[in-house]
Amino acid sequence: MKTFSQQLQESLADRQSQGLYRSRKTLASAQGTEVRVNDKTLINFCSNDYLGLANHPEVVAACKRGLDYYGTGSGASHLVVGHSHAHHALEEELAAFTGRSRALLFSSGYMANLGVLTSLASKKDCVFEDKLNHASLLDGGLFSGAVFKRFPHLDLDQLASLLNKQLAYDKRFIVSDGVFSMDGDFADLPGLVSVAERFQSQLMLDDAHGFGVLGKKGGGLVEYYRDQGYDINENNLPILVGTLGKAFGTQGAFIAGSEALIENLIQYCRSYIYTTAISPALAEATRTSLQLIQKENWRREHLQALITAFRSRCQVLGYLLTDSMTPIQGLLLGDTEKSLQASRLLENEGIFVTAIRPPTVPQGTARLRITFSASHTPEQLDLLLAALEKIQPLLYQEQENAAG
């Protein structure tokens, strides 16, 4: 009989043999468009710091003021003695930002998504999720105990068909990412609202990658569609989730919705009740980043200019990209080893881009996940494109030799 240690070693060996072994790289610098990684200075094209706020002087200064006033840690959960004025003020400001009655802070996006579904859904209910939803949304649906159904990516006809067969359940939850984290495309929110109303279902949207990036003032996918004349509010989209570790440049997450929703989460959501609150200093930093998101529209404009130029050049080079006009640009290579090779070759050229492989993405869709920041310069974009042009023959050489 194999020992526990032998079983663990075999599991790791199996992961390595499939080219799916994950290794961490150590960052020895502040987050930014240039980072020091494993003793190399690289141009960073794989961060979720979409607006360049993670090391913004005003955000850093706000965090330092918070440290001077509150110290480093919150000391407890929100319901014991960890809920500071900084947390409370941030919640009120996030509620105003999203146009909702209340907002509730969580320590991470994973905890928010896991908590809301496990506290609101039960075995008497049914949860319907897009197949490309983030793992935290899928886990929340699975762990809730509700009947769990997945529909093909963005296929609202199939969603409606599934809903039509599950009308006997007490509650039906439709759950979707706003901007999908690996492809960079986004949900048809008006269509989801329509389906939810038709089948009397509760709609939940995780707009982790949309906040700060989409909408005239960075209000995310809801604001993007409102700008087009759609009325989306806390009645027809009752559960709205956002994270603070991406465009906000800090840490944590929030859920925004009605007074009743937030009070229910405070009473029943285990991942909120039983965890220590984020540092008050980080809450103060986030308050400043929230102000910058709303007033500095040039960041979104610059991002779109970078994305448009990148996509245009990749088309000329013959690279296949995911259908995205967000900072997430998936450069599809299909083969796991080829994606790893591409990441290594780019690193040799001074470019930091990670390879994304199954099970994070479906089999046959391994890729480079290239992400842009408002802090990237046109010169850095040119260096990325030059590197992609240089490595392309190396990536396809083996395939061409086999064909020959």
Q: What is the pLDDT of residues 145-155, one digit of tens each?
A: 999 999 999 99
Query: Is residue 18 predicted with pLDDT exceeding 90?
Result: no
How many Å apart are CA 43 and CA 198, to the nearest integer? 48
Write down the pLDDT at residue 275.
Answer: 97
- 256-308 pLDDT per residue, tens: 999 999 999 999 999 999 999 999 999 999 999 999 999 999 999 999 999 99
CA distance 142 to 145: 6
CB contact at 8 A, 257 and 112: no
Q: What is the mean pLDDT of residues 120-124?
A: 95
Looking at the DSSP bridge assignments, the partners of residue 35 are 42
CB 217 within 8 A of CB 294: yes
Predicted confidence (pLDDT) at residue 176 exceeds the cutoff of 50: yes
Beta bridge partners of 320: 332
- Name the catalytic one among 83, 134, 246, 338: 246
* Known catalytic membership, residue 181: yes
CA atoms 84, 90, 92, 98: torsion sign: negative
For 63-99, write each residue's pLDDT tens digit: 999 999 999 999 999 999 999 999 999 999 999 999 9
Per-residue buried b or exposed e for 4-40, using 16+ beta carbons within 10 Å of the residue's own CB? eeeeeeeeeeeeeeebeeeeeeeeeeebbbebeeeee
* Cα 202-204-207 angle, rounded to 5 deg: 160
> What residue type is assigned to position 55 of the chain?
N
Contact 227, 215 (CB under 8 A): yes
CA distance 2 to 173: 44
For the chain, list the domains and their CATH numbers.
26-51+297-403 (3.90.1150.10), 57-295 (3.40.640.10)
Q: Residue range 171-189: average pLDDT? A: 97
* Tens of pLDDT, residues 216-245: 999 999 999 999 999 999 999 999 999 999
Longest Cα pair distance anywhere in the chain, in angstroms? 70
The DSSP output letter for 169 is S
Q: Which of 181, 279, 289, 339 is catalytic?
A: 181
pLDDT higher than 90, residue 399 = no
What is the average pLDDT score of the chain? Answer: 95
Q: Which two tokens stand for residue 267?
A: 């009473």
**Is residue 402 pLDDT above 50, yes or no?**
no
- Residues 274, 277, 282: CA angle, nearest 5 degrees: 160
> Which residue, chain included where needed, has tokens 């020992």?
3
The band of 38, judged by pLDDT with boundaries at 50, 70 and 90, is confident
Is 83 one of the catalytic residues? Answer: no
Kindly tell me if the per-residue pLDDT of 403 is higher than 50. no
Q: Tokens in use for 272?
A: 């909120």
Q: Looking at the whole model, is its pTM more than 0.75?
A: yes
- Residue 167's pLDDT band (cuts 50, 70, 90): confident
